[in-house]
Amino acid sequence: MALQEAVLEPGVRDFDIQPHRPRRGTVAENDSMNRALGWFSVGLGLTQLVAPRELARFIGIPDQPFLLRFLGMREISSGIGILTKKEPSNWLWSRVAGDVMDLALLGIALKSDESNRNKVLMAAAGVAGVTALDWMASRQSSEASGRILGLKTRDGMIAGRTAMTINRDRAELYRFWRDLENLPRFMNQIQSVHRRDERISRWVAKGPAGVRLEWDAETVDDRPGERISWRSLPGSRVENRGAVEFEDAPGGEGTEVRLRMEYRPPAGVAGALVAKLIGQEPEQQMREDLRRFKRLMETGEIPTTDGQPSGRSMMRRDRKYER
């Protein structure tokens, strides 16, 4: 069995599905640069948290304290991550993510009439400089680890796993999942699944920027009440594979459900990074899919606030935070 097929193997429960061992020394060599970037993050983050309005005024963008504070928290946590983690690569990547986000925001600000162009350009130049440093530092330390920006990757595939306990019978959960046409009810990215025959199904998903993606997948392993695994057929536009396992939870607390997936992102790992920046982190999305599955199975519906009133109803959608 080839290494990359491992995700299809039983034993989803085994947490360490992709051992990676950082090369010794890599981190230490970059120590002082890492530390400087770490402190820069903490400092910037504190400024964003404490004085969002002043900072907004200083860099010349419209006053959005909540957003700036949120970015501040992210900066501080990535700064602390860099300063304290033995193996800082994903924290460094989150700095890069942060930089790109800041640049994007400054880009938006540049278009808005409320901003002061010169100030924004100055700030952008500053951020771009730091981005370059971040990029170098993270490239160096992530070469050793197989993780980019918290994305677990192997051979250019994005990998993720997540687990939840569902207060339902194992057989019932299996049955619902086994009827693949049910999957779009809780998998946000999947628009439809049609069965061709017992083994082959046609999947339609919405990809980044609303692109329609289609592929055929085959069911590899189907053990009633225990596990289902699948993979895309060779030559598919979106190469992917996954497995879900069902196990009785101890103490009669329902069923432990574990989900693992790997896919080759249509726009490459870089595309996946961009997706992550706009809040579509693959592993988090898997977790939310599994959570929706849990909610649907336990309560018969998926709680939402999408469509409720608010004092900002002039906005089309009121679903800022649901993933």
Q: Which residues of this protein are in contact with another protein, per CB under 8 A? A: 46, 49-50, 66, 69-70, 72-73, 165, 167, 253-254, 284, 287-288, 291, 294-295, 298-313, 320-323
Closer residue to another protein (CB): 241 or 287: 287
Q: Cα separation of 266 and 289, whole Å?
A: 20
Minimal distance in Å, beta carbon 259 to another protein?
A: 16
State in angstroms the smallest separation of the CB of 31 from another protein. 27
To another protein, the closest distance from the beta carbon of 49 in angstroms equals 4
Strand runs labelled E in 180-264: 190-195, 200-206, 212-223, 227-232, 240-248, 255-263
Residue 323's identity, in one-letter code, is R
Residues 6+ apart with CB under 8 A from 195: 180, 181, 201
Whether 161 and 151 have beta carbons less than 8 Å apart is answered as: no
What is the edge-to-edge ordering of all strands in the sheet holding 190-195?
147-148, 151-154, 157-166, 255-263, 240-248, 227-232, 212-223, 200-206, 190-195
Distance CA 127, CA 150 (A): 21
Minimum distance from CB of 288 to another protein (Å)?
6
Q: Of 50 and 132, which CB lies nearer to another protein in the complex structure?
A: 50
* CB closer to another protein, 7 vs 261: 261
Residue whose CB is less far from another protein, 202 or 323: 323
**Interacting residues of 7 by C-beta distance below 8 A, sequence separation 6+:** 17, 159, 229, 241, 242, 243, 260, 261, 262
- Minimum separation from the CB atom of position 302 to another protein (A): 8
Radius of gyration of the chain from Cα atoms? 22
User: Nearest approach, Cβ of 229 to another protein (angstroms)?
Assistant: 26
If the CB atoms of residues 3 and 314 are measured against another protein, the closer one turns out to be 314
Nearer to another protein, 70 or 176 (CB): 70
